[in-house]
Structures are given as structure tokens and as C-alpha cells.
Structure 1
């Protein structure tokens, strides 16, 4: 019988929709089935963030050179900083026979669609723009300028989310309900991986 090869999962949506919280819950509950592709970024680390765990923090020069060498699945520029998913980050997870989670924005999704990765696409959206603005303000990490940039980007991402680019859209109004929907969408893949691990015992 052919071995089950897990498809990567792209989780996207505007900043402030709770993507990171949902991903963390999924990773905590199913850590033997999911692996997170750690993105590269040229932005400075926020308090509590660790290099190699939250992001691979790097310089613009180093990252641009790696992009030129074709080492990235997708890259995007956001608020003056580069972000990207390296091919190695995805391969590291897939080699462990885990479902690789990519937390990327709209630009990244468009780039991944040009590759042969064939992931499942999940869009996380806020109940409305007002709720999103409240969440972003609540972080207390945004200047007024960066807040407005994020809100402007959110409008574009929400419009893109309605184009049929994603396999499923989850509205994160209530975290527990959104999490159950996320688990439900991925339940078949989790079940297949469970069977695979059981067969190998």
C-alpha cells in the first residue's frame, strides 16, 4: 500500500484574525502530526520572540541573496520588511512525515499557487473590520501608520478571500468554534497520518 504523503496546509488571513492562536492550538493538540514551517523575516524580533522558533530573523542583504538563489517558496514585503518561506523549512517538516503548516499572507498564497506544493488553502477572516481594528489596537504593537497599513492590507486580503482561492473560509468570531471548524477540515488528513503511524508500530 502506498505511503500517505501529507499535503502542506496554507493558513492565511489578515493580521489580527487570530491565525497564530489557532495554529498554536493545533500544534499543541496534534504536535506529532503537524510541523510549522518557520518563516524568515528581516523585521526585528518582538519581545518574547525567539530566533529559529518564531521566525528566522535575518538581514535584508542575506535574504535577498537567498531569494536570488531560488531558495524560497514564497516571499512578500510588508511594512518595509521582507518575509518568506524557504524550501528547506517546508522540506524539514515533510521529511518528518508531518503536515507542514504555512502561515502566509495573500502575496505568499499567490506565490505558492505557482509552485508544485499542492497544499490545502484555509482562509481565516474576522467577523468584520471593526473587530479586526479592535484586535490590532489591543496588541499595542502598532503605530497609527502601521495600523492603517494593516487595515488597508486586510481589505485587499478579504477581497481576495472571496475569489475562490481558498478551499475553506473560517470566520474567527469565537475562538473555540473557529478551532473546531479548523480541526474538522483537517480531520481526514489527521486520521490518515494516525493510521500511517499505527501501521509502522
Structure 2
């Protein structure tokens, strides 16, 4: 590859990174209706450069959220073996909710914030299901709870985030309350679980 082409690609990659960082910062500061021109200005590029990489706002928003998840979620998932299964469930759910809370204005800028939020938490559903089974086996999780139950609770808490004042983190209270309901001792028998629609637990 010619040196000039490599330099152009490196410059383009830097511009994309600056635009994504700027988008998350501007949405956080200004709100989901922040103009794209302001994002381009914060990134130090022209609006044409923004549209060259992201032809519309939705593309920018979705890529910015993917960046947030890639930065913050994998390190948490890699650490789950360091915790007992029940504690690991708390750590993973807390991490997913914290991403949504921190990036709520970026999410709100999407055409369908709820759908994008579901995509954000999707990577944790399989690990949570496995941790649920492990917690049941070691006796720290009630035996009638399933991975789908845990996923749906995460979905409910995700929806709850939208009614908590920004920066308040009141959702942490309800995460603790809900996880206490998974305690095996003195648990009320559960009614039958509803079937999962289209394979989506949220």
C-alpha cells in the first residue's frame, strides 16, 4: 500500500474517532437534538467530513453507542470469573445499566431509542443466562428463576432509567431490590413464565 494511501486511511480513522467522541460529548452536554454542525465543530472537521463517514444522524448515533459498549462492556464480561455467580450477575447488570444511563442522550437521539437500548444490552444476555444457572447450582439463586427472567428484569430496569433524573443513579436502588427477589430463602412460588416473543427476552 502506498505511503500516501496509508496516511489518508489513518487520517480518516482519526476523523471518525474524533467524530464519535464529539457526538457522545455534545449529546451529553446539549441533548439529543444537538445539531450535527456542532458535533463536526467539536471534532475539528467540516460538516462534509461528518457526512462522508456518517451519511445521516442515525448512523452516527448507532456507531457512537457501539463505541460506548465496546469500550466499557467487554472488560466487565472478562472479569465475571473473578466473582461468585450471583455477584457477577449484579456486576454485569450494573455495567449494562450504567452504559445506558451515561449515554442516555445519545440513545435518545436515535430514531428508536428502545430498540437501540435493547441492542446495547444484548451482549450480556447469554452471560447472564449462564451465570443464572451457575448461581442456582451453588444455591445462591432461587431454583425457579431462568435466564429469561433475569433478562426481562434487566429490560424493565432499562425502561425505568428514562424516568430517573439524569445523573441521579436512582436505578441502583431498584437493581438491589430486584436482585434480592432472587434470594432462594422464603421465596413465593412463581406463576408460569410468559413465552419469549421472537427470541427476544426484553
TM-score range, shorter chain: under 0.3
Higher relative contact order (CA 8 A, sep 6+): 1
Using the size of structure 2 for normalisation, the TM-score is: 0.26
Using the size of structure 1 for normalisation, the TM-score is: 0.26
Greater Rg over alpha carbons, structure = 2
Larger strand proportion of the pair: 1
Larger helix proportion of the pair: 2
